[in-house]
Structure 1
Amino acid sequence: MAGGSAIRGSRVGAGPMGERERGESAPRQWISFFCSNGHETVPAFAVDALVPDTWDCPRCGFPAGRESATPPAAPRNEPYKTHLAYVKERRSDADGDALLEEALARLRARRGER
């Protein structure tokens, strides 16, 4: 193992990079957003940037609004539905029985059965 600097990638005389090297940063504004779980998020925006009405909460993922008294409601989570559940929404049991009898009649006719 070769000896060397404990901090890899640095050199003697290297200092922290500051405003002089990077240039002036854009003026910023910090806006508070509140979610329905009571979390507060404070992202920074450029002063001339368009601030959105909602922001996703980084802690819970719910939408957050700018008013703490009336945060946006949590999104409604629809449970996963199977293909059969969607079919049952569109058709009644009587429709299903009629379709089954029709399909069986075609199958029997094709086989030559009665």
Structure 2
Amino acid sequence: MAGGGNAIRGSRVGAGPMGEAERGEAAPRQRVVYFCAHEHESVITFAVEAAVPDSWDCPRCGLPASLDAENPPPPPKIEPYKTHLAYVKERRSDKEAQAILDEAIQLLRDRRKKGEIVF
């Protein structure tokens, strides 16, 4: 028989709602409020015996949030994207870069004279 009905699978008619009797007792809980720099209040529920973290990422904006409403953590500083060349320039002076370039050009010319490179 091809099914087309609205049968609820895995349950019997008259079985009743699945509640705490079938799942067990819920653990005692505590509600903790975190505050972010955008003045969002996030209520997070933890088990009573769980260690409550000092900080939590705000579910609304993603900024770090803390337990202190008066002094929420500042937004993290976002570093701009740097190219590979920018990182190299941080490590090398112009004089060092020129020396490395001259050495590479000389090596390339020597290899061309020997016929190792044909372009």
Please state which band the TM-score falls in when normalised by the shorter chain: 0.7 to 0.9
Deviations 1:44-85 (A, max 9, x none): 111111100001111111111011111111111112222111
Runs of 4+ in 1 over 3 A off after TM superposition: 1-4, 109-113
**Structure 2 unaligned residues grouped into runs of 5+:** 115-119
**Structure 1 unaligned residues grouped into runs of 5+:** none
Counterparts of 1:62 and 1:30, CA distance in 2: 20
Task: For residue 2 of structure 1, report the CA deviation from its aligned partner.
Answer: 4.4
Aligned residue in 1 for 2:117: none
Task: For residue 90 of structure 1, report the CA deviation from its aligned partner.
Answer: 0.7
Task: For residue 89 of structure 1, report the CA deviation from its aligned partner.
Answer: 0.7
Aligned residue in 2 for 1:59: 60
Aligned residue in 1 for 2:39: 38
How many aligned positions are there? 112
RMSD: 2.1
For 1:82, the aligned partner's letter is T
TM-score when normalising by structure 2? 0.80
Task: For residue 13 of structure 1, report the CA deviation from its aligned partner.
Answer: 0.9
For 2:39, the aligned partner's letter is G
Aligned residue in 2 for 1:14: 15
